[in-house]
Structures are given as C-alpha cells and as structure tokens.
Structure 1
C-alpha cells in the first residue's frame, strides 16, 4: 500500500514550503511515486497514483494548463505540484476552479527549491512507508497462515501498536476460475486483481484506517482495524458498491465479517469467510454476511473432518449405494421431503412425480434404512447429514 498525499504534504510544507492552493478534498489520495511531467503527450504513460511535478516549461498558458490538469486527474494521478517562478508565476484561476470542483489537489513549490532534493526526499518517504506496510502485511499473513510461529510476526505487529487483544474486522472476496479455460487464459487476472486491490486501498485510506489487503490464490482478503459503527458500515457499503462493477467483468463472491476478531483468531475468520464465499457461489448469492454461516460454523470448528464424513456415511451411504446400483433417486427425494417439511405435494412437483409414486418411494427409503419418516429424531439425523454433505462439498 502507498502513502496518503496528506502525509507527504505535511512533510513538504515544513521542509520546502509547498502550499496547497486547490483540491483539498483529494488529500487522502494514495501516492505510489513522484514524477516530473512537462508535456501532455507523456501523461498517457502514467499508471495512476503518481504525484506529478511540473515547471510549466512546455504547458504554461492557462487553457493548456487546465487541459493538462484535467488529463492528469482523469489518468488517476494523485495530485500536481507546480514549481512557481520562471515559467508559471501564479496558478491560473481556471486550474483552481477545475481542481476545486474535481477534488484534485494542486500545490505550489517555490522556484528556489532544488527539485532533485525534493524528489529524493519524497521518494525516500514513500519507499520507507511502503517497506513498513509490506512488513505489516507479511506479519498479518503469518498470523493467519503460520499462527503458531508468533515470534515471526508479533514483534512487527507490536511496532505497529497491534497487540494480541487488538480487534480486526475482515472481508473476504472470492474470484473462482472461469469454467471456460480458454476465456480465462485471455482475461488479464493480474491487472484485474491489481485494480481491485488499489480501489480497496483507496477506500480505507480516505478513512485513515490501518488496513492490510492481500491476494492469495483466488481470494483477496481485507483486514482492517476499524470498530463497529456508521463509518465502518459506510466503508463496507462502498466496497460492495464498487465490487458490483468488477463483478460484471469476472465472477465475484464476497463474505463480510459481522464481528471483530483478535490476532490469534484471524486464521479462523479467514477460514470461515473463505468457506462462506464458496457457499455463496453455490447458492448464487454474491454478497454474504457472516451470520449466514449458521450451523456450518460448528462444522468448521471441528478439527477432525473424518468424524463428519463418518456420520454422513452412516446416515446416507446406504441410500447412495442403492441409487448407484438401481438408478433410483432416493437421495434427492429424501432431501426434498425434508426441505419441504414433509409436504408430499411439493415433493411431487419438485421431483416431477405423482403423489402416489412419492409415497411409494418414501416407504422404500424407510425399508432400506430401517428408519421412519414419522420420527422427529430420524428426520433430524437425516437433515443434519445433508447439511454435513453440503459442507464437505465446499471445504
């Protein structure tokens, strides 16, 4: 993650007398680097999040300078520093008007300042900030994926005022591979993830929230130190809103954590929300809340998956084998019966069968399993087995 422009401004104001003249709403823009650009033709080479410096040696009349500023803003630059003096003596009103309206920060820098020193200091500041943020990101990832090796991540977290009882909230985003392998090969996943992460970073930066955003396999994880409240809800809503536009380009499922979690339990939150993303995909639901985990939260907490597999086999295995041997659909019919609370008419409609045929199949199921559909306990056991079956298919 980059540094916010406001932090650069605080340093440059005192060291170099850099002054903000317009576009203060954009001071929370993120900055990746500092570049000097003197010609409009070079703006197209920018990648976004650059702080641009210009002396006006080529673009100095008001009309041209306004077009220059507008082009920088549209390209995604973070702000513009105008080296006032030899070529531009004052910032034109048109530039100020546009910058204020667009929220694009424009600064002035005295001509006496040596740009070599200015660039070097700001680039060093950016590089140092990035190193610190990379260290924090690595530490939080280790807390999730190598949680038992505390000595490798807790010292770094302490340096960032994060302790074992510090609470975080998490959002997990899942981007499943395209079923059409050829189409997926043509799609630029790297650029897509890059843009998605940068958008998330900017949202948190605007709130000055300590956050880490990283990609692992097909997931992008957002971890932030932000308490429950209106501001957090606004951030979540912003992420949901912009994610809708990304979802039009690539399949996307999101799971939002409802409760904060401490450092030692981040791995559990990551596991639970990753599962919830896959569950959302199965249900055709793009955005899920953690509370929707339901009883799956219990299954996830069971360390020995073999116990769940054994229970599932005990309850459904015999019916599955009968279906495989005879071509019947007893597994499907029983599940439908349980999900409709024993409504034979609904089962008949759902399975395209006559009511009498459904009744016959249900009697057959009871014979095969030795259980009775009139027993609340037996129905509960079966229903539990189906839920476990669904769970095992998603882990």
Structure 2
C-alpha cells in the first residue's frame, strides 16, 4: 500500500522538530508526493494526495493561512507543513479548528530547519515505498503466472507479511467508460484512490495492474470479506465516475498462496461473466455454466461448437437478411412463450409462430430437451466469443 502520513512522519519530530498541531484523525491519509507551494491561490498542478510545505514568504499577516488551507483541501492535498519563522509567526485558532474538523493534518517546523533536507527525506521514503510496492506486485505476478518458480516470489512475500499459512482471495476488476476500457494514467490514479478508500484494512494487501485489469489480493481475507471491500469501492469510488461501468470478479478462498494462479483464473471468469450478465460484482461460485465455458482455454473449441450448432441458421440469416437466430434466442430466453417473444420483438404472434415453425422444419432444430440444452450452451459460448 502507498505510504501513509503516519509512516512518512515517523521520527520526524526527533529529526526535524516537526510537530503535529491539528488534524490527527487524518494521519492515515496516503501520500503521493511532496510539494513546496507559496501562492495562496493553489495551482492546478496538484493531482491529489500531496503533502504541501510553505514558508509564507509571499504573504503578509496570518489571515491568508485559512484560505490557503481550504484551497489545498479543495484541490486534494492531504496535509500542510508550515515553516514557522519570520513570515509565519502564529497560526490562527480558526485554522486549527478547521483542520481538526476536516481531518486535515497541520504541522509546524522551525525556521532553522532546512526544508530541502525535509523534502529530500520524505521524497526518498515515498520512492522507497513505491519500490517496495513494485517488488510485492512483481512477486504476486510471478506467483500467479509462474507458480513453479518459487524462488521468484516466496522470500519477497514472506518478508512483507504475506505468509503461506493464511487465507487468500483474489479480486479482479475491469472498468470501461462508454464501452472503452480505462487504462494508462487514469487506471493508475484509480489504483491509488482504491488504496485510499481501503486504507483502514488492517491486513496485508496488494493492488496492482495486469493488462486491462486491476488485481487485489490480501492475506487473511475470505471471499465474503473481499466482496464487502468491493462494495465499499463501488459506493465510495466508482459511483463518483460518470458513464463508467465496473465489473468485479472474486475468486474462491484458498489456504496458502500456492494456489493463487487458480484464484486468478477464477476471478477472471467471474469478472468476465459479470460483464456478460451486466452485474457489478460476482463471486466465482455464482458463475454457473460459465465455470465450464471459461475453463476452455482454446477458443477454437468454442467456435467449433457454435459452428456445429448454428452454421445453417447463421448462413441463412446472412444470405436472406433474416433474424431467425435472434428469434430462436428470444424464444429460449422466454421459455417458449410466444406472447412474450411477440411483445419483446414487437411483431405479431402469428409471425413468431411462423418463424418457429420455419426453424423446426429447415434447420433440424426440434426443440426437445436435448436440443434446448445444446442451444443454450451454444448461445452462452457465442456471448463469450463475441465479447472477446
């Protein structure tokens, strides 16, 4: 997880005489970077979760501090260090009250302390933490995709609190805006924000990107708990995005991490099934027949089955610009109710009766039990193949 203010400021009072004077409840905030800002009109280069330092050199008096703090918080900063000295000689009570009320940590550092030393130290800690996070993510990737090469992940995970005797569950998430998968910088920003939302989890967890997915796993977390985390993310994070569709898949829970490669496949199945069924969150245990279909790794096998089942009707529809395949699918979805099919397709029931008779007589489909099972299987396969 990204570094918190409380970890970043460990030993800071001893080393730099930095004191926390307000906003204690915000010390679990995650820190992205450290910036010096002297303009009370907070610049637009802040991306969120920055720690700000200021000397007040461009200001007069102390009334500007409250405006400055409010603007920082508005732009997503998570804390402020005031360099107390010739330009800041006191801090108004209303600033301290505002920071306490809004869980915005406010610190002071004496003028004789060189801020360049503080920023160098803090930036070094942030970078070291990011390198640690990258190392953990690499270890989990090796665990998932090269489970036989234990030297590539066991020691790295054990050193960071991920032990082989605990419970593990894997969450896989994909998100799209207006049908286009989110990726790049936006995906990385979402990853950081996810960590902020889940900062109160008291167990080791790791979030990393894998192609067009975000992967989350945690030690000592079962599938029920992971689903609760997914619901928190959905309510506190993704509901804030406009025109964004999120599909989350959750694996079964395993004991020990040697079966995490299986968890990844299960979460992949659940996430893609959630997308097909237009669900936000889906557990692997609830994927039904899609367990079998996604277990077929060679998509050519699915295509062959689809072709064997539908080739006559697909070819006829293509040549004559008809919709017999769609009619058949609608008929099965409505359990053979001509009235419901007629209503859904917005045509007369006699037209549906004619089409179903034509399907029976010309495509060798009798709609007996064995036919219905085979057709449903083929339609489910077709959904997977068409989406991928």
TM-score (norm 2): 0.83
Partner of residue 238, structure 2: 243
- Whether 1:212 aligns to 2:213 is no
**Is 170-179 or 100-109 further displaced after alignment?**
170-179
Q: Which residue, 331, 335, 347 being the options, matches 2:325?
A: 331
Deviates more, 1:288-297 or 1:258-267: 258-267
Q: Contact conserved, 1:252 with 1:286, CA < 8 A, in 2?
A: no
**Residues of 1 paired with 2:387 and 2:266: CA distance?**
11
1:10 aligned counterpart, secondary structure: coil
| Aligned counterpart, 2:68 | 68
1: CA distance, partners of 2:225 / 2:267: 22
Structure 2 match to 1:33: 33
State the Cα distance separating 1:301 from its structure 2 match. 1.8
- 1:226 and 1:19, CA in 2 relative to 1: closer, same or farther beyond 3 A? farther
* Distance in 1 between residues matched to 2:140 and 2:214, nearest whole Å: 14
Offset from partner CA, 1:294-323 (integer Å, 9 cap, x none): 211121123344443333333323333343
Whole-angstrom CA distance in 2 between matches of 1:39 and 1:328: 67
Give 1:371 shift: 4.9
- Quick one: distance in 2 between partners of 1:231 and 1:363? 51
Q: Structure 1 331/94 Cα, relative in aligned 2: closer, same or farther at 3 Å?
A: same
Moved more, 80-89 or 130-139: 80-89
Distance 2:93 2:341 in 1: 73
Q: How many residues align?
A: 384
Range with greater deviation from structure 2 (5-14 or 223-232): 223-232
Cα distance in 2 for partners of 1:253, 1:158 equals 32
SS in 1 for 2:63: helix
How far did 1:106 drift?
A: 0.7
1:392 to 365, 382, 385: 385
Alpha-carbon RMSD across the aligned residues, in angstroms, is: 3.3
Q: Kindly indicate whether the alpha-carbon contact (under 8 Å) linking 1:315 and 1:385 is maintained by their aligned counterparts in 2.
A: yes
Segment drifting more, 89-98 vs 256-265:
256-265
Matched-pair contact (CA < 8 Å) for 2:208–2:215: yes
> In the alignment, which residue of structure 1 is the partner of 2:175?
174
Distance change (3 Å), C-alpha of 1:92 and 1:233: farther
Shift of residue 240, structure 1, vs aligned partner? 0.7
- Which structure 2 residues correspond to residues 25-104 of structure 1 after superposition, within 5 A? 25-40=25-40, 43-59=43-59, 61-104=61-104
| Further displaced range: 147-156 or 13-22 | 147-156
Contact 1:175 1:218 in 2 (8 A): no
Q: Secondary structure at the match of 1:383?
A: helix
Contact 1:65–1:95 under 8 Å retained in 2: yes
Q: Residue 156 of structure 2 corresponds to which residue in structure 1?
A: 156
Alpha-carbon distance between aligned partners in 1 of 2:257 and 2:61, rounded to the nearest angstrom = 55
Greater helix fraction, Structure 1 or Structure 2: 1
Deviation (angstroms), 1:25: 1.7
Distance in 1 between the 2:347 and 2:85 partners? 86
Q: TM-score, normalised by structure 1?
A: 0.82
Please list every run of 5 or more consecutive structure 2 residues that lacks an aligned counterpart in the other structure.
Answer: none
How far residue 257 of structure 1 moved from its aligned partner, in angstroms, is: 1.5
Matches within 5 A, 1:299-310: 299-310=293-304
Cα displacement (A) at 1:130: 1.4
Gaps of 5+ in 1: none
